Structure formats: C-alpha cells, structure tokens
Amino acid sequence: MKFLKKISNLFKILKNKLTQYWQELALIFIVLPIFFILTSSYNFFVQGDDFIKWGSPDETANYIFSKLYAETGDLEIFEEYNLYAKDIIRPRSFRSDHGIVRPMSFLGIVLVYGKIASLTNYKIIPYLTPFFACLGIFFYYLLIKRIFGRRNAFISAIILSVFPVYIYYTARSMFHNVLFIVFLIIGLYYLIAGIQTKKKEKPQTQIKVQNKKSKKRIFKRIAQFFLAQFFRFCIFLKNNFWKWILFGLGGFFIGLAVITRSSELLWLLPLFLILWIFNLRKMGLFGLTIFCLAVYLAVLPVLHWNNILYGAPLHSGYPEMNRSIANIFNASQDLFFSFGKLISSQEDYQSSIPEIETPGNKLILLNTDLSLERSLIEKIKDNVFHFGFSPKKSFQMFYYYFVLMFYWLFWPAILGLFIFLSDFRLWGRKEFSYIISFFVISFVLVLYYGSWDFHDNPDPNSFTIGNSYTRYWLPIYLYAIPLVSLFLFRFFNGFFARFFDRNAGEQNLEKSRKYYLRFMKERLRKIFFRTPILSEKMRDFREKIKKYFKKNIFSILEIKILFNFKKIILKIYRFLKNIFKFILNNFLLKKSRKSIFVNASISLVVFVFIILSIFSVVFGSEEGLVYAVYKNQSARDEYQKVLDLTESNSVIITFYHDKIFFPERKVVRGLFNNNEMNAIYAKLTKLLPVYYYNFSFNKEDFNYLNQRRLREFGLQIREVQQVNQDFTLYRLERLYY
C-alpha cells in the first residue's frame, strides 16, 4: 500500500508540473524539434559533401573562414599571384592586402562557429544556426514572460518560430543576423533576470564588546573589527552571488552579440542606456562593473584578431567603417574642445562687460559663433550615415518591408500598441523600458538602414524577403510580436465576455466540463455507430472478412477475437476519451468556458499566421526557399561543367559566380569595361590560364571585344563552351607571345 501511495503521489506531482510548465514542455519537445528539423532540412538537401556553396558572398566568406579556423586556427589565406595582380584575385566579402586574403565582414560568427567545429567536425557548421535559433526561441519566451506574462510569451514564441524572416535566415545559416539576435536575446534575458532578482536585506553584524580589560587591548579590538567586516562581506557575496552571475552571463552574451555584428552598436548603446537609467539602483555600481567586464571578456578575442588582421583593435575588414570611426572620433574630440573654448571665451567676455538682464531675468549670450560646431556635427552625421540619409526613402522601405510584406503582423501590432499605451497608468519600469526602447530602436533602424540601397535581388523594383532590409529590421519585428499577442488576448477576452458570465465560478467550470464531455461522447457515437452509410459499410466489410476466413483454417474463436470491430472501436473511443478528458480538464478548462473560446480563437488565428508565414517563406517570392533550391541545383550543374573545362590553377573572371567557383578556382570579380583591370588581365595571362564566365555575348559584342577593347592590351577572347542558355565560358589568350 505504501508503494502504491508513493506512485500515486509521484503521479500527482507529475500532473502538477505538467499543468504548471506545459508551455515550456510544449516548446522544448514539440515546437523546437519541428523548427530545427524543418530549417536544417534546407541545408541537408541542398548541400552535399562535394558541393557546399552559398547564395551570397557573405555566407561564402563566413563558411570558408569558419572552416579554416576550425582546421588550422588561422584566418588568413596567402594568394601569391595577388602580388602581381594588385590584390584583385579574391571573391566578394574578402579583402586582400599584399597577397594575404582576409575576411571583410565581422569576425564573431567565424570565431564562434570555428571554435565549435574545432571541437567536433566542420560538417556541423551549416547546422549551428538552426541550433542557436532554437535557443533564441526558448529564451525569447523566457524574456517576454518576464515582461508580459506566461500566456503572451507562449503565443509570441509560437509566432516567432513561424515568422518568415526568422525561418529564412535560419535556413540560410551563414548570415550573421539570426546569431546576433539570439545572443542579444539571451544576454537581455540574463540582464533583466539579474535586475529583477529580489535584493536581500543587508546583514546586521555587531561587534561584540567584551569587558573593560579587553577594550584596553587595541590590537584585539582592531582584529575583531576587521573580522566582523570580513564576515559581513562574505554574507554580502552570498546574498548577491547569483545576481552577479546573471549580470556576468548577460554581459558575456551581449558581448558575443556585439562581435557578431559590431555595426549594431548604433542602437545597442541607446538600448542599454535606457535599461541602465530605469534600473540604476537595482543594478548598482558593482553589477555594472561585472557586466562591463563580461562584455570585455567576450569582445577580447575579436580585438586580438582585429589587431592581427587589420592593424588596430577597433578596425574591421570594412575600410569605409574604419574611416568613419576615425572621422567620428576626431570630430567628436574637436567638438568637445571647441565647446570648451566657447564656454571659456563666453565667460571671459561676460566678465569684461556689465551684466545685461532681460525682463525674464535671463542673461543674453553675446558674440556666439557656432559655425564650427555645426560643421563638426554635420561631419559626424555624414560619417554615421555614410551610405546616405533619406527619411523619405526610409519610411518608404518600411512600408514595403513591414506594412505591405507582413501586413498580418503589422496591423495587429499597431492595435496591440494602442492597447498597451492605454494602460500607461499601470506601467512599471519594465513597461516604460520596453516602449521607450521600442520607439528609439525602431526610429534608428528605419532611418539608418532604410536610407541604404540594397540590391540583393537583381530586380530593383522587386521587394522580396531576400533583400537585406528584412534581416536588418529583425529587431523591430521581434519587438512587435508581443504586441500582436496582447491584441489577440484583449480582443477575444472582450469579445467573449459578452456571452459568458464572468462570475460563474466553479459552477460554470463544472458545467463546461460536463457539457463538452457529453458533446464529444455523443458526437463520436454518432459518427461511428449511428451514421447509416458508415455502419452499413463496416457491417458489410466485417461479413466479407468472416466469409473469407471461414474458408480457411481459422477457428470461429480466432475470427471473433480478430474481427469484433465494435469492441475494438469502443476501446479506441474510451482511450481517446480519457486523453481528451485529461487535456480538457487540465489545459482547456482551467478557468471557465469563456477561456475555451478565447484559447480556441487565438489558436485559430495563430494557425492562420502559420499558413501565411509558411507560404511566404517557401513560395511567397522569387527568393523563397523552394526557388532557392532550384537555383542551387542550377549552380551545381554550372559548377561541375566549368570545373571540368578549366585547369585547377586557372583564374575565372566573373561578375556573379565568384561565390560558386571559390576556393576550387581563383576568381576575379570584374568585367571588360575598366582599362586598368584589362591591363591586369593581360599580366595574368602570362602566368596562369584565364577564363571569363558571364552572360553569353552576341556576335557584335564578341567582335567588338576582339577587334578593339581587348586588342589594345594584346588579348583576344575565345569561346570554350556554352554552359546553359544564359552563360558561356570564354578563354582569354594573348595575341602574341
């Protein structure tokens, strides 16, 4: 009996845990495995052992250097022929300095993936982003739960797991953006968890004062004092240990996010400033110090490699960014000194004249010339927005890539934002931090990236998910998702409140259970036993089976056991009824009948979101995943044909296919419209076989190149083979030797 009681108690505990943590269990055991399998299947079917190629230059560079770092621990490739070719032998997203080819992009993803692959195998690299994306969904749930609650967090995590941009750039797994977002979400969760940790009361330690004789012993009293302070410090460490651990973890993951995409510091710094202002006392000076040290620890490897590769810890592979950082630093320094001189000169000027006061008792500042300061501020703005500043174009792109592309997310988020703002009297620090950071970050991201010109899609008039705006604005989408969940809960709660009594209590709960159990029981019986067509077909089928087996050796008893369908169906019905009853009692009917309809309605809307999202990411545009698979198959055919037609040490000049042929062949991204490049091509033909692979030339263009453009440099072009209907492989040859 005691054993049975223990078993029953264990089942009760298990049942309580299931009802309490069913959202987390559903995410871990259902949502995340499905998400990982679906996003990983893209690379599993597209990539192969003999063909691991990517759809963009950034992906290619990240994969090649991650693999190189995993195998050799180095981030440099020496190309000796670049010493003769002025460093043009390299694909896009690579840079070459005196023959040493280095990564141009941020090093975070390369170091993280390369280190993990060095501990396992480089073949795991394409599947690391889906793994981290699963972690991102779970920590997104934990983060939103601390701000909006458990129910909102669960729906938000479901929406994120089917959001097209998140799925698309998880499947195309060598982009920085998803990894950056995941590290940022994890870091913010640990940071906010540390801030929300309840502060324990400070211990009150008293120094025991002994008799008068001991007071005279000054050294003993000093020792007792320092001992008491030591114990007080130990108790203080014990009470705040986990809080500081959380701050350290938050700083470390935020540092990983910074090294993954350092350019996002433009809006990360305002975000952390807002969090620090609203939580100044809770974080404390010591917590801030631990946070900054953890950030520095995570950033340190990249500072080391930047110093090796680019000559300075704060430099990167982007020359424009290096120049912008230097210009901003110099302009900021000049601006600081100019304001200091302005203030000192103004004080000297005012001290030399009588004080002039206005009727409002305000001093009039005279002799102020701010032209230098304005020019310095303008210089800082031009370097921050080094790709342009166009508010009109920014909001136009926002309309195309949010309002129009994800209308099913935008409009519910707007309605949820109005609902959220209407509750401002109930806000606390976390709500104020959320909404202010949302507005500031959205404003910065829209103006900064919206002013750029991205042509990831060759058609400039096509607005597709593959254009970079979507991945750069991923933080805006993630901020908007909880507002969608808030709108769904508020709307359906208000809608169904008209039809159900809010104060029905337990009677309404019991009625709901009995009503739905009776309804399902009658419905199942009607389907299986009272539907004339179904019952007649089952009866005829059973008779035919009996007649067939009576002709064989089977006994009547075996026939009855095997083909008594009614009993089998009844058993299945009872089993399904028990499962349905458990789900109904523990999940659907926890509060009232109204909650059933609210949850069912939200589930239906989320199901519609899932359908729209899957269609958008798979078939929604010419850059959907299905079309990406077709393009990859075409690229595989081109790759194999061109490699069969060219030598292993040959150079291929191309405009689009550098990401496909590298590193099996040396590649140059170029055309024949630049005389300086043509002169370098002529040098290369003396050293290596040189080919040109691009769109097929018509007869007039082919003759023009051989008779005029290339003839000036002693070159001619010869067709090798037309690879497909659009592209042809040509060979560059010298006219004379």
Give the separation between CA 724 and CA 104, rounded to whole angstroms. 32
Mean pLDDT of the chain: 79
Residue 108 pLDDT > 50, yes or no? yes
What tokens does 634 get?
């075409």
CA dihedral of 115, 120, 121, 127, whole degrees rounded to 10 = -80
What tokens does 435 get?
């909404």
The arithmetic mean of pLDDT across residues 543-547, rounded, is: 58
Assign 654 to helix, strand or coil: strand
Q: What end-to-end distance do the CA atoms of the chain give, in Å?
A: 101
CA dihedral of 170, 172, 178, 179, whole degrees rounded to 10 = 100
CB 141 within 8 A of CB 157: yes
Indicate the angle between helix axes 593-619 and 407-422, nearest 10 degrees.
140
If you ran DSSP here, which 8-state letter would residue 30 be given?
A: I
Position 300 scores a pLDDT of: 95
Position 525 scores a pLDDT of: 56
Burial profile 90-119: b = 16 or more Cβ within 10 angstroms, e = fewer:
bbbbbbbeebebbbbbbbbbbbbbbebbee
Residue of 299 and 512 predicted with greater confidence: 299
Residue 55 pLDDT > 60, yes or no? yes
Give the separation between CA 468 and CA 177, rounded to whole angstroms. 10
Residue 199 pLDDT > 80, yes or no? no
Chain-centre distance of CA 108, in angstroms?
14
Give the separation between CA 160 and CA 613, rounded to whole angstroms. 10
- One-character DSSP codes across 217-258: -HHHHHHHHHHHHHHHHHHHHHHHHHHHHHHHHHHHHHHHHH
Among residues 209, 181, 195, 147, the alpha carbon closest in space to that of 268 is found at 181
CB 299 within 8 A of CB 255: yes
Q: Is 420 left (phi over 0), alpha (psi -120 to 50) or beta?
A: alpha
Residue 93 pLDDT > 60, yes or no? yes
Instruction: Give the pLDDT band of residue 241 (cuts 50, 70, 90).
Output: confident
Tens digits of residue pLDDT in 548-597: 545 544 444 444 444 455 565 666 666 666 655 555 555 444 455 677 77
The arithmetic mean of pLDDT across residues 445-471, rounded, is: 79
> What percent of the chain shows pLDDT beyond 90?
44
Give the separation between CA 4 and CA 620, rounded to whole angstroms. 57
Position 320 scores a pLDDT of: 63
- One-character DSSP codes across 371-431: HHHHHHHHHHHHHHTTT---HHHHHHHHIIIIIITTHHHHHHHHHHHHHHHHTGGG--HHH
Position 559 scores a pLDDT of: 47
Catalogue the long-range contacts made by 371-377 (C-beta closer than 8 Å, 24 or more residues apart). Answer: 372/338, 373/335, 373/338, 373/339, 373/342, 376/331, 376/334, 376/335, 376/338, 377/335
Q: How many residues does the chain have?
A: 737
CA dihedral of 237, 238, 239, 240, whole degrees rounded to 10 = 50
CA dihedral of 296, 301, 306, 308, whole degrees rounded to 10 = 130
Position 329 scores a pLDDT of: 55
For the chain, how big is the Rg over CA atoms in Å?
Answer: 34
Residue 216 pLDDT > 60, yes or no? no
The partner residues of 37 in beta bridges, in order of sequence, read: none
Among residues 296, 297, 185, 193, the alpha carbon closest in space to that of 243 is found at 193
Q: Is 640 left (phi over 0), alpha (psi -120 to 50) or beta?
A: alpha
**Beta strand 690-695 pairing with 651-654:** parallel
Position 461 scores a pLDDT of: 72
- Find the range with the poorest average confidence among 192-196, 376-380, 681-685, 707-711: 376-380
Tens digits of residue pLDDT in 583-609: 555 544 445 567 777 888 888 899 999
Q: What are phi and psi of 721, to 5 degrees?
A: -165, 140
The arithmetic mean of pLDDT across residues 191-217, rounded, is: 59
Position 365 scores a pLDDT of: 44
Give the separation between CA 347 and CA 341, rounded to whole angstroms. 10
The arithmetic mean of pLDDT across residues 308-324, rounded, is: 76
Residue of 424 and 516 predicted with greater confidence: 424
Instruction: Give the pLDDT band of residue 450 (cuts 50, 70, 90).
Output: confident
What tokens does 127 get?
């599947």
